[in-house]
């Protein structure tokens, strides 16, 4: 039986494409392999290489689908190129936006990450850093997490941690400025009887923000009435929490013309409770939230809120932990990096009833 030979064209079609190595890539670019290696491995020394050269290297690497050998890189640098991230929970709101900034920067820098949700449980907050260390992470970022670990052998950065711990950098919002922005806005609209929704006792921002609110109110001559102050309960990141405490507030029959909520989710829940009682926002009661989550602008009415640059805070946290990993023992990073809030005025706040 005759055997049909494959054509030379067919043989060429199935011939595997040779893999581009570091030397081939460097030759094509007219650069030394060392320069290409420094850039591809994102070495701290590569900071001195012009950005235009880096862009050329990354473009050529994408063209040839070239990637550095992870295991060789890991053995050479004694790093896992993995970061541990601790969060209370992952859902719409604060944690999601901060995580997006962390993720963007870590992916850009070629790092992988683990996420551990502790649900504010003290035993998990204590145990997770040890578990992450056992998985050889190079550093830890903790969001809205009370931090007391001062003896970790790796860099740690917290977002809204507030505790001053030796060797730990905290990314923190200027809460004094945030409180002034919100209360000055309501004051200028003629509001004098303002209700407040405080954060849960376990939230890292609750005490710091409440102290800032009391200080700002005193400077404006506003009375913070305990009978117009309610506190969120429960750890579910849900509008239900704001709805429930606002119903309690309304049941007390204390009158108020504005409400300043701990976060946007509780503000949205509060608007639901006010509507249920036949109160119109903002004609009868103005509502101001906090955070500026993605859905805040699409509420009805669109929510006036104090914007935390949450995504930026996440990026700063990731940049800081990677900088400290790259330069151990040479970090002059301050213990606190403060970021500025911004008031975003939308439709849920208006001139106080009776002042128009």
Do 98 and 143 meet the contact criterion of CB atoms below 8 Å apart? Answer: yes
pLDDT < 70 regions, the chain: 1-19, 41-45, 67-79, 92, 329-333, 356
- Record the pTM: 0.78
Domain harbouring 39, CATH code = 1.10.260.40
The strand ranges marked E within the chain are: 82-87, 112-117, 139-143, 156-159, 168-173, 194-198, 229-231, 258-260, 286-291, 304-307, 336-339, 342-344
Domain harbouring 248, CATH code = 3.40.50.2300
Please name the residue that has the structure tokens 């040890």: 130
- Separation of alpha carbons 10 and 5, rounded Å: 10
Residues 66 and 84 placed together within one structural domain of the fold: no
Residues 314 and 295 placed together within one structural domain of the fold: no
pLDDT in tens, 74-133: 555 566 789 999 999 877 678 889 999 999 999 888 888 999 999 888 999 999 999 999
Residues 50 and 199 placed together within one structural domain of the fold: no
Per DSSP, 200 falls in state P
- Please identify, among 70, 100, 129, the residue that sits at the C-terminal boundary of a domain: 70
Residues 227 and 304 placed together within one structural domain of the fold: yes
By residue range, what is the domain housing residue 58? 19-70
């Amino acid at each position: 039986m005759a055997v049909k030979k494959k054509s030379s064209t067919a043989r060429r079609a199935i011939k595997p494409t040779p893999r581009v190595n570091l030397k081939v890539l460097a030759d094509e670019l007219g650069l030394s392999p060392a320069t290409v290696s420094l850039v591809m491995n994102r070495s701290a020394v590569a900071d001195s290489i012009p950005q235009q050269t880096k862009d050329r290297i990354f473009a050529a690497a994408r063209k040839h689908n070239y990637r550095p050998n992870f295991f060789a890189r890991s053995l050479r640098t004694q790093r896992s190129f993995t970061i541990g991230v601790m969060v209370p929970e992952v859902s719409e709101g604060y944690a999601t936006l901060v995580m997006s900034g962390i993720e963007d920067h870590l992916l850009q820098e070629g790092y992988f990450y683990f996420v551990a949700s502790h649900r504010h449980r003290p035993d998990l907050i204590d145990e997770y850093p040890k578990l992450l260390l056992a998985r050889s992470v190079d550093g830890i970022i903790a969001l809205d997490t009370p931090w007391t670990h001062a003896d970790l052998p790796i860099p740690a950065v917290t977002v809204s941690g507030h505790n001053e711990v030796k060797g730990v950098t905290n990314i923190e919002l200027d809460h004094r400025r945030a409180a002034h922005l919100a209360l000055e806005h309501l004051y200028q609209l003629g509001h004098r009887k303002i209700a407040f929704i405080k954060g849960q006792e376990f939230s890292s921002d609750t005490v710091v923000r409440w102290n800032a609110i009391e200080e700002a109110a005193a400077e404006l001559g506003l009375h913070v009435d305990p009978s117009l102050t309610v506190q969120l309960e429960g750890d579910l990141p849900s509008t239900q929490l704001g709805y429930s405490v606002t119903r309690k507030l309304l049941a007390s029959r204390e009158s108020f013309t504005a409400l300043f909520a701990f976060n946007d989710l509780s503000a949205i829940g509060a608007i639901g409770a006010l509507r249920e009682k036949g109160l119109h926002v903002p004609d009868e009661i103005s509502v101001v939230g906090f955070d500026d989550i993605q859905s805040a602008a699409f509420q009805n009415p669109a929510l006036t809120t104090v914007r935390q640059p949450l995504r930026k805070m996440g990026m700063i946290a990731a940049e800081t932990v990677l900088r400290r990993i790259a330069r151990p023992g040479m970090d002059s990073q301050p213990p606190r990096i403060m970021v500025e809030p911004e008031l975003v005025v939308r439709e849920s706040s208006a001139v106080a009833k009776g002042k128009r």
